[in-house]
Structure formats: structure tokens, C-alpha cells
């Protein structure tokens, strides 16, 4: 008798978890943030890979996908 009761409860639990219970819905913006790196703003401070000085993104030089503090550091990296 107890075995039949446990079997019925098990079947109900399987049906519930497979068909009735839904997965939580993720926001599209949250999933995009997880997929891509965080977006930088003009006033964010970044480190120059050549000399290690921090400078604002708006004042930096972009070369080969990296931000440098000055054109001199960008040319040294090449």
C-alpha cells in the first residue's frame, strides 16, 4: 500500500516538474549583458597596456582593439 502511494506521488512529481513548472524568464537586456563585456562610457578610467597609467576613455587612443593613454604608447606597442 505504501509502495503504491509513493509511486503515485513520484509520478505526480515527475509530471509537475516536466510539464507544469516553468523556467524563470530572463530579461533580454540581462542576457545581452552576460554575453558581451560591459560597455564603457567616456568618463570610465582604463589602464594603458604599455605604461600602466590610468586615463579617461574619452582621452585615450584606440589602436588594434586596445586603449592607450597617448599616441606614443600606441606606437610603442606596435
| Residues facing residue 67 across a β-bridge | 62
3-state secondary structure of 62: strand
Tell me: the pLDDT tens digits for 2-17? 999 999 999 999 988 8
Does residue 65 have a pLDDT over 70?
yes
Does residue 63 have a pLDDT over 60?
yes
Domain of residue 63, residue span = 2-77
The string over 21-57, giving b where at least 16 C-beta atoms fall within 10 Å of a residue's C-beta and e elsewhere, is eeeeeeeeeeeeeeeeeeeeeeeeebebebeeeebee
The number of folded domains in the chain is 1
Average pLDDT, the chain: 82
- Residue 17: per-residue pLDDT: 85
Tell me: the pLDDT tens digits for 17-54? 888 777 666 665 555 555 445 677 778 898 999 999 99
Alpha helices of 1-78 — where are they, by DSSP H? 2-15, 28-35, 71-77
Amino acid at each position: 500500500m505504501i509502495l503504491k502511494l509513493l509511486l503515485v506521488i513520484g509520478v505526480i512529481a515527475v509530471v509537475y516538474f516536466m510539464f507544469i513548472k516553468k523556467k524563470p524568464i530572463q530579461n533580454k537586456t540581462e542576457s545581452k549583458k552576460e554575453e558581451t563585456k560591459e560597455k564603457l562610457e567616456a568618463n570610465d578610467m582604463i589602464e594603458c597596456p604599455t605604461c600602466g597609467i590610468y586615463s579617461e576613455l574619452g582621452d585615450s587612443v584606440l589602436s588594434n582593439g586596445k586603449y592607450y593613454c597617448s599616441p606614443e604608447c600606441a606606437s610603442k606597442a606596435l
